[in-house]
Structure 1
Amino acid sequence: MNLPIQCQKMSAKTGLTARLIELFSAIQGEGRNVGTRQLFIRLALCDLRCHFCDSQNTWAVPNLASVEQTPGHRDFETHPNPVTVDQLLAWVERQNYPGLHESISITGGEPLLQAPFLREFLPVVQHRTGLPIYLETGGHRPEQLAQILPYLNSIGMDMKLPSVSGEECWHAHRQFLQVCGDADVEVFVKLIIAQTTNTAELELAAELVAACNPSIPVFLQPVTPLAQPHHAPMIPPTPTQVLEWQALMKRHLKSVRVIPQTHKMIGQL
């Protein structure tokens, strides 16, 4: 997307700020973009409290944000929150080595909680870097998604199974997929699965996705066991469960893949 220079000036004058957790370069370990090098912008705040969450540090706003200086070197410096459009643009441009990154990942937390900032930031960062924008989201805020859809190239939607996440968002998920379908934006769905997964919920998820478009890829992600303060560690599904659940969902969908969190296997935390 080629935007005029005045767009850059306009965004810098809005005064909008973001609550940032960290900015760093790493290998994407989940979903459709697994194995690719991305520039991650992790935003603070989330309105969900999923039992399996491995990013509980994003639930609140830290006083300081961590910003990597050299891609992949983990040489972080800290800056006070919140951060401005110009600050974030400068840090992204410093990391944007020619040919290194395949896209920019906007992640969290729940990035759509900061949609007004993203509406100003995304068109400018896309213009300056030439990189596609990939949004990682819980897929439960369709109204906020609509505000930034023109600036997104792809969306990874983390659909919530109540038996695993403790959250129920079926109606919002349905609306979210409808917004994606109307905009003809590339989207895929990720489902965290554990031994506690309710099979009926998987069937409902498959039907919900198929009603929008049966060609939308779905990724079943066996949960990574974590010791959470308020919940017993979740146990990954058995091989038999995974095979049965994939077969069940493929009765409704064309593409159902099983991929664990590969970044944790190779130390890309």
Structure 2
Amino acid sequence: MNIRNINQEHSAHLIEVFSGIQGEGLNVGTRQIFIRFALCDLRCHFCDSSNTWKMPEICRIENTPGLRDFQNHLNPVTPEKLLTWVQQQNKPFIHDSISLTGGETLIHTLFLIKFLPQVRDLTKLPVYLETGGHRPQQLAQLIPHLDLVGMDIKLPSVSGENHWQAHKEFLKLCYESKLEVFVKIIVSKNTELMDLKIAGEIVRNVNPGSPIFLQPVTPLDTPTGSINHNLISSPSPKQILMWQVLMKEFVKEVRVLPQTHKILNQL
């Protein structure tokens, strides 16, 4: 399947829609309506959402915000149907924003071009995009409809992926468009210093004001067959402290933050 060619305007494949607490990055601790899209064109060693790699027949939709009373619905989903489910979640005074997550959300750009103006008008909530940060061409089409972007920089020594040039273009596009962005870097015990230095240089050369979040990898509890668990072991406290000092040579704001939603059992 060529994921780059499956983008459709009138429908999208979802994993789930639910209300929860954001566990990562700049929005950590805030309440969001999560829209999790299916499909990803990356195969990161540390991925804890490999269920999004395939095109599912059904998606899970939470009926009551935060109660996890899911019902199954058939994929694909139209923008109009998704608007109905988001409005179902959008009770007064609960949510701070809408999180578009995945998988890789930007695979569904044509769908989002139609959906996002409507959902912003309906909910009046800011829209936050979580992305692998490797699809600048797709991002360019959505910039008018976004309020915040959390982009990953994938370290080859940790993820097995290499997208340095795309990351540069992606971050530059955010900066030139005055779109607020922060960078998340997953680190494991096998993180190579050269990878961190390259990532730091990318951020510094584009916008040294962008905060960087170092996120220690969360070990997977169950075997996934194709993933080498020796590659996803958590770094030591000594490594984390050393890496934070290293990255502060490039940008002023470097935070270390685990996946707090897992600590809170907000999966």
- State TM-score, norm by structure 2: 0.94
2:11 corresponds to which residue?
17
Equivalent pair of 2:10/2:79 in contact (CA under 8 Å): yes
- How far off its partner does 1:52 sit? 0.3
2:246 corresponds to which residue?
248
2:224 is the counterpart of 1:228: yes
Cα deviation, 1:118-146, whole Å, max 9, x if unaligned, reads 01100110001000000000000000000
Helix, strand or coil at the partner of 1:72: coil
Task: Number of aligned residue pairs: give it.
Answer: 256
- How far off its partner does 1:228 sit? 3.1
2:154 is the counterpart of 1:156: no
The separation in 1 between residues aligned to 2:187 and 2:51, in whole angstroms, is: 22
The separation in 2 between residues aligned to 1:173 and 1:247, in whole angstroms, is: 22
Helix, strand or coil at the partner of 1:83: coil
Helix, strand or coil at the partner of 2:20: strand
1:3 corresponds to which residue?
none
User: Equivalent residues in 2 for 1:80-159 (5 A)?
Assistant: 80-159=74-153
- How far off its partner does 1:190 sit? 0.3
1:237 corresponds to which residue?
235
2:3 corresponds to which residue?
none
- State TM-score, norm by structure 1: 0.94
Equivalent pair of 2:186/2:214 in contact (CA under 8 Å): yes
Equivalent pair of 2:9/2:110 in contact (CA under 8 Å): no
Residue ranges of structure 1 left out of the alignment (5+ in a row) = 1-13
Q: Which moved more, 1:183-192 or 1:228-237?
A: 228-237
Residue ranges of structure 2 left out of the alignment (5+ in a row) = 1-7
Cα RMSD (Å): 1.0
The separation in 2 between residues aligned to 1:199 and 1:244, in whole angstroms, is: 10
Cα deviation, 1:209-237, whole Å, max 9, x if unaligned, reads 01111010000000001133222321111
1:187 corresponds to which residue?
181
The separation in 2 between residues aligned to 1:62 and 1:39, in whole angstroms, is: 21
- Partner AA of 1:32 in structure 2: L
The separation in 1 between residues aligned to 2:143 and 2:158, in whole angstroms, is: 29
List, as ranges, runs of 4+ consecutive aligned residues in structure 1 with deviation greater than 2 Å.
Answer: none
